[in-house]
Amino acid sequence: MKPETIRVVITGASSGIGAATAIAFARQGASLLLGARGEEGLADVARRCREAGGRADFALVDVTDADAVARFARRARQVLGGIDLWFSNVGIGAVGKYLDVPIADHHRVIDANLVGHMNDAYPVLPIFRDQGHGIWVNMISVGGFIASPYAAAYTASKFALRGFSQALRGELHDYPNIHVCDVYPTFVDTPAIYHAANYSGARLKMPPGAMAPERVAEALVALARKPRATTVVGAPASALELGQFAAPVTASLMDRFMDRWTRRAPPAADTSGTFYVPPVGASGIRSGMRGGGSDAGAGAVTGGAGQNKAALALGATLLAALGLQLLRRRT
């Protein structure tokens, strides 16, 4: 499928990886419908897509509301005339020891990261069957392979997402032109770090080496040309296999690392981030912590406002990889 003719739907499109992917497809001349909770962020990304040469519309949608997602899918089919690729990209995370995070926030993580993706798939797969083709892209992250202490619900949601995709591929074996594609990025520099819930007591910080969201976006555009079940961005797939094999040791090491880090980092008050409120302003694609400032639009995020649009829920996956590095040093 040629990106210049493709019709693309992206949920979680108002910042981070979703925004970068929308613009990458727009540069190829694609037609897009963008969805998220924050109107200002969506309007900013849609404008950027049009300036890049694509056709872009947007609609507010909360993926935890199945009826709202069904309406969004119907609108996408009407606006675009069909759906060739649907990118399920919403992802949130709560950082903190399991018992320190309110149970309602754990539920919210599962609702957004797992149930939200299931809500996305439910209306679009019948559309794909009617068309006889389609690509459903499931943003997971390396957190789907490596357990992350201080992010228990996030880990549960990402492990479950991987199983959900595997089950769908089994059920769709009679439809060779319908593809379920999982994407597993490692460290990604997005505004997610400003938007997550944080009950660790420590101020969150983007670690060095985080890759640009545009790199993940390139992998998404490539899937439109050549769908594949598993795409790892930022690390060899073998590293994820090693992480699974060494999971008990890795998780223990990472928990100790997090305990030390939270004691030494600058303090921060507990926050639920943007779990229960729509984002305010345009968050942009990157966090601005890597140098060069943020790329957010005129309505930049203020305070803790904004939505975690990266499938990487802040330090959860980042610190899983750090735990893996610690393991390598001891073996």
* Separation between Cα atoms, residue 329 and residue 331, nearest integer Å: 6
Q: CB atoms < 10 A from the CB of 161, how many?
A: 25
DSSP-derived secondary structure for 236-277: -HHHHHHHHHTHHHHHHHHHHHHHHHHHHSPB---B-TTSSS
DSSP-derived secondary structure for 299-312: SB--TT-S---SSS
DSSP-derived secondary structure for 46-106: HHHHHHTT-EEEEEE--TT-HHHHHHHHHHHHHHHSS-SEEEE-----EES-GGGS-HHHH
SS3 195: helix
**Is 154 noted as a catalytic residue in this protein?**
yes
Name the active-site residue from 122, 150, 154, 184: 154
Q: What is the per-residue burial (b if ≥16 Cβ within 10 Å, else e) of 219-229?
A: bbbebbeebee
At 174, give phi and psi (nearest 5°): -85, 0
Active centre residues (catalytic) = 154
